A and B are shown apart, each in its own frame.
Chain A
Amino acid sequence: GDSVTQMEGPVTLSEEAFLTINCTYTATGYPSLFWYVQYPGEGLQLLLKATKADDKGSNKGFEATYRKETTSFHLEKGSVQVSDSAVYFCALETSGSRLTFGEGTQLTVNP
Chain B
Amino acid sequence: NAGVTQTPKFQVLKTGQSMTLQCAQDMNHNSMYWYRQDPGMGLRLIYYSASEGTTDKGEVPNGYNVSRLNKREFSLRLESAAPSQTSVYFCASSEAWGPGYGYTFGSGTRLTVV
Binding site for B on A (CB under 8 A): 4, 31-32, 34, 36, 41-46, 49, 51, 89, 93, 96-104
Contacts and interface: CB of A to CB of B under 8 A. Distances in A.
Nearest to B110: A41
Given A51-B99, A97-B96, A44 B90 contact: yes
Contacts of A101: 35, 42-44
A98 B31 CA distance: 10
B42 A43 contact: no
Nearest to B95: A97
A101 B102 CA distance: 12
A32 B100 CA distance: 6
Contact of B100 (A44, A49, A89, A100): A49
Contacts of A46: 102-104
Given A51-B100, A93-B99, A98-B58, A103 B40 contact: yes
Interface of B: 4, 31, 33, 35, 40-45, 48, 50, 58, 90, 92, 94, 96-108
Contact of B105 (A4, A31, A45, A103): A45
A111 B14 CA distance: 43
A62 to B, nearest CB: 15
B86 to A, nearest CB: 17
Contacts of A49: 100, 102
Contacts of A36: 103, 105
B50 A43 contact: no
B45 A43 contact: no
Contact of A43 (B31, B100, B105): B105
Nearest to A48: B102
A81 B50 CA distance: 38
Given A49-B102, A97-B97, A42 B43 contact: no
Contacts of B40: 103
